[in-house]
A and B are shown apart, each in its own frame.
Chain A
Amino acid sequence: QKEVEQNSGPLSVPEGAIASLNCTYSDRVSQSFFWYRQYSGKSPELIMSIYSNGDKEDGRFTAQLNKASQYVSLLIRDSQPSDSATYLCAVIGSNYQLIWGAGTKLIIKP
């Protein structure tokens, strides 16, 4: 059973619209949550971290965490073609190990 689930996509969003990426996790003890962006053939790049319930905003990115429902999401406002990438959700679980989702491929259409 996978511990971190993401829709593999691809998720296609028009340029300028809001892209919404979702992730669910199974370990209720998890306390740390991360979103990474990965361009094809490149290594993952940390874009957001969130540790407490609610919203956290950084520029065009907003991470949302709901521990009761065990989901974390990433919103990208004013989507740009350069946002086209695979977005990986990662969670530090009860064994203090980063557990990864398989990633959602996001395509921003000009």
Chain B
Amino acid sequence: DAGVTQSPTHLIKTRGQQVTLRCSPKSGHDTVSWYQQALGQGPQFIFQYYEEEERQRGNFPDRFSGHQFPNYSSELNVNALLLGDSALYLCASSLGTGQGVSEAFFGQGTRLTVV
């Protein structure tokens, strides 16, 4: 049973560029949430996808966008990268949304460095 997989594991980008991060959820899960974790901080919720739609969104600018595919995998896109976007980006999968949401399981994360 495959767990949550993220790619790439590490990425270096230049300020102003665009980046796409990918996530495949745990088998049987249908909901994908994305988090940004700065050094020494807890994960900050970016958004959640369920049934190919963005269901909830945290306090992140429109430069952060996403997509969910019919196989439940998801992408996180960040445009016009800033130095402050450097962080560990975590994908978490769970089953259901709303009142039926289950506990989340995380991928290994993508370490993004913006220079």
Report the 6 A-B pairs with minimum CB-CB distance, sorted nearest first.
Answer: A100-B42, A43-B106, A102-B42, A43-B109, A96-B98, A100-B43
A74 vs chain B, min Cβ distance (A): 15
Give the secondary structure class of B's interface. mixed
Contact with A92, one of B88, B90, B101 (Cβ below 8 angstroms): B101
A107 vs chain B, min Cβ distance (A): 15
- The proximity string for B residues 27-58 relative to A, scoring 1 for CB distances below 8 Å and 0 otherwise, is 00000010000001111110010000000100
- A100 (CB) vs chain B CBs: closest residue: B42
Interface size class of chain A, counting residues whose CB lies under 8 Å from the partner chain: 20 to 34
Give the B-binding residues of A (Cβ under 8 A).
32, 34, 41-46, 49, 88, 90, 92, 95-103
Contact A96–B106 (Cβ < 8 Å): no
What separation, in Å, do the CA atoms of A99 and B56 have in the docked complex? 13
Residue tally, chain B, CB below 8 Å to A? 24
What separation, in Å, do the CA atoms of A45 and B109 have in the docked complex? 12
Can you list 21 contacts pairing A with B, beta carbon distance less than 8 Å? A34-B104, A41-B111, A42-B109, A43-B88, A43-B90, A43-B107, A44-B106, A90-B104, A92-B101, A96-B56, A96-B97, A96-B98, A96-B101, A97-B56, A100-B43, A100-B44, A100-B45, A101-B42, A102-B41, A102-B42, A103-B41
Contact A98–B104 (Cβ < 8 Å): yes
Return chain A residues, CB-CB under 8 Å to B108. 42-43
At the interface, yes or no: B105 with Cβ under 8 Å from chain A? yes
At the interface, yes or no: B99 with Cβ under 8 Å from chain A? yes
